Amino acid sequence: MYRRSLWRAASLFAGCLMALAAVPGAHALPMYPAADPDPFYAAPEDIASYAPGDVLAHKAMPALAIFPDTDVTLVKFRSTNSQGKAIAATTTVLTPRNRQPNGPLLSYQHIINGLGAQCSVSHVLYTSDPNLMVREAPAYNVALQRGWSLAMPDHLGPQFAYGAAKLGGQITLDGIRAVQRLDDLRLAESPVVMAGYSGGGMATAWAAALADSYAPELKIAGAAAGGVPMNLVKMLESLGLGSHPVFGLALAAGLGLEREYPDRFPLSEQLNDRGLVARQNMANSCTNDLIATGAGRGALDFAKSTTMMNDADARAVVEENSLELFDGTPNMPVFEWHSPIDGLVPVDAIVNTTQRWCQAGVEVQSATIGVPDHLTAAVLGLPLALQWIEARFRGETASGNC
């Protein structure tokens, strides 16, 4: 359910939040999340002296009953934010104890709905979050039983920049670098595939498109990304400013973008008193609390002005996080799946992006799942995605169907 809610909100966020973020003037400071209470997550003072993907620290985590015979390792590494500055990021690595050295490594980008430390995958694994434990754990165990190791990055970064899609791609790539550089994991020569759906698919697809320029030394066998919102600008153009039951997620995305682009997306200065209270309530919240804060509201309930603005800088931020508008192409084969009439994600943006990749020589295998629903397409397309991923791990040559 929360995936459906996420992408309804994603569809709203661009249009609604451009209205809030587009008045020039003295920029109010964003509200950043509280520091993680675990000092492990803190960045070292000399972080800029490290290269992207360098391991900063790692530690063994307690075993999890839901993943039998599996070791859990938390890895902190150096990555880069959207301003080109060094940041510390983390990835959680699940390794089956009976695996072979340099066995397959799947970087799985989980959806992270949140603005605070408690929302990270590395924390949620140790909570009773039903979304992860009930729905995701069985799929993870299938991979682990095949001898695959799983790396799950906290791809929103240390400031929990929810909505900053390009950042997620960079953190994903640096997470793979770090996992392969950590000798204890014995994954230095592993074949690597990336995967994710919806928000996780966005981070995956961005990582694939950025790999050639951001991490050209990585040898990634493929990327499987489903239900990817390729163009947030198109979402903006097709939406109004009315109320919505999950507007809280849309507002959260705007607050996340402001954290990542404080000088170009100054959302906070456009919030009225009700909006500032909502911001305070949401600053460290995850899915349910984000939805509750904005339930039944819209952008006009939280903005100082009812006038839709069209500020060039704010729009450029949305464009920079729209993959259809990014001229880079993957240097690996891609499997992509989606609903043909997805009411949450503009399908034409998916088609345009994959066709451009095909014309650039990328082997793209695209699957249209014949259901009119974003979430159902995720489930029905998963067996095809796993089959494709397994073929990449076997070293089979990928072919496209463009």
Q: What is the pLDDT of residue 25?
A: 43
**E strands within 271-372?**
334-338, 364-368
Q: What is the pLDDT of residue 161?
A: 97
Mean pLDDT of 314-342: 94
Residue 251, φ and ψ in degrees, nearest 5: -65, -40
Question: pLDDT digit string (tens) for 77-89?
Answer: 999 999 999 999 9
- Decide if pLDDT at 215 tops 80: yes
- Decide if pLDDT at 247 tops 70: yes
The CATH number covering residue 243 comes to 3.40.50.1820
Instruction: Give the residue with greater pLDDT, 186 vs 132.
Output: 186
Measured from the Cβ of residue 199, the count of other Cβ atoms closer than 10 Å reads 26
Query: How large is the angle between the packed helices 2-21 and 312-320, nearest 10 degrees?
Result: 150
Question: pLDDT digit string (tens) for 367-380?
Answer: 999 999 888 998 89
Q: What is the pLDDT of residue 296?
A: 84
What percent of the chain is helix, strand and coil (3-state, nearest 5)? Answer: 45, 15, 40
Number of domains the chain contains = 1
Dump the DSSP string for 23-84.
Answer: --SSPPPP-PPPPPSSGGGSPPTTGGGSPTT-EEEEEEE---TTSTTEEEEEEEEEEE-TTS
Mean pLDDT of 120-138: 77
Mean pLDDT of 43-53: 98
Of all residues in the chain, the percent with pLDDT exceeding 70 is 88
Among the residue ranges 17-31, 54-68, 139-153, the one predicted with the least confidence is 17-31
Element (H, E) at 150: strand 149-153
- Decide if pLDDT at 2 tops 50: no
Instruction: Give the residue with greater pLDDT, 45 vs 134.
Output: 45
Give CA–CA dist 206/201, Å, rounded: 8
Sole residue written with tokens 């095949």:
146
Specify which residues 71 forms β-bridges with: 95
- Decide if pLDDT at 15 tops 60: no
8 Å CB contact between 305 and 271: no
Q: What is the pLDDT of residue 241?
A: 67
Question: pLDDT digit string (tens) for 198-209?
Answer: 889 999 999 999
Question: pLDDT digit string (tens) for 145-192?
Answer: 999 999 999 999 999 999 899 999 999 999 999 999 999 999 999 999
Strands 86-96 and 149-153: antiparallel
Of all residues in the chain, the percent with pLDDT exceeding 90 is 69
Residues 6+ apart with CB under 8 A from 14: 232, 233, 235, 236, 239, 318
- Decide if pLDDT at 292 tops 80: yes
Measured from the Cβ of residue 349, the count of other Cβ atoms closer than 10 Å reads 21
> Quick one: DSSP state of residue 271?
B
Q: What is the pLDDT of residue 132?
A: 60
Instruction: Give the residue with greater pLDDT, 148 vs 295.
Output: 148
Mean pLDDT of 374-395: 93
Length of the chain, please? 402
Identify the domain containing residue 61 by its residue range: 1-402
Q: What is the mean pLDDT of the chain?
A: 88
Give CA–CA dist 314/13, Å, rounded: 12
